[in-house]
Amino acid sequence: MNIFMFFQHGEKVFRHGRDLPHWQQVGTIQFITFRLADAMPQKKLTNWKEERDSWLAWNPKPWSDRQQNEHRRLFHEKLEEWLDEGAGSCLLAEKSNRVILADVLMKAHGDKASFESFVIMPNHVHLLVQPFVELEKLIKIWKGVSARKIGKGSIWQGNYRDTMIRDAEHFRNTVRYIRKNPKHLKSEEFTLWEGKSAKTIPSLEQGHSCL
């Protein structure tokens, strides 16, 4: 694992992306979410983006703990609630499709990235990963290869959400969040994978947000 496991204040941060800006630091563990293209009703998504764009204009990254909490409360929790409603085709509810995606992800493990934890939900995916190459290129490969193998055309949204992991507590809470995300589903409707570090983290009765 690289030295910069967590976000390093004072180290260079790279920004890219226009519609949904991404802030990344080489070697830093990231919490990533991407979803199927039809997982979100367009009207809801448009309103959400407008509200979030306005907030981001006044709150550029990197964020303080207060800003992280406010962003989570106003936007992340709302988006997760909509995703968990199970809108769209939910192609990933089929085990064969989840196996394809998990295999595509794990081909990068140890070489291009180090996975700490991930969960494949019916219409979206959460990843806790330390990329060793450019994250945007990795995600493009994961989406492209998995879409071709699933054979349903262009199935993924064009963008993704990312959050740099700040410290050990943030890491633990993110592991717990991913683990708890499918709590409302049957075991055959999701795939959860955890690495050695994640497996050592005990679950808590009360949920903790990762952002």
For the chain, give every domain's residue range: 14-40+90-199
- Cα distance between residue 51 and residue 70, in whole Å: 13
pLDDT in tens, 151-191: 988 899 888 888 888 888 999 999 999 999 999 999 999 99
**In which region does residue 135 sit, left (phi positive, over 0), alpha (psi from -120 to 50) or beta (all else)?**
alpha
Q: Which fold has domain 14-40+90-199?
A: Alpha-Beta Plaits (3.30.70)
Query: What mean pLDDT is reported for the chain?
Result: 84
pTM: 0.77
**Which is more confident, 141 or 28?**
141
pLDDT in tens, 64-110: 888 888 887 888 777 777 777 767 889 999 999 999 999 999 999 98
Alpha carbon 155 to its chain centroid, in Å, reads: 17
Cα–Cα–Cα angle for 195, 35, 208, nearest 5°? Answer: 55
pLDDT at 122: 95
pLDDT in tens, 23-66: 565 678 899 999 999 887 778 778 888 888 899 899 987 788 88
- Classified as helix, coil or strand, 71 is helix
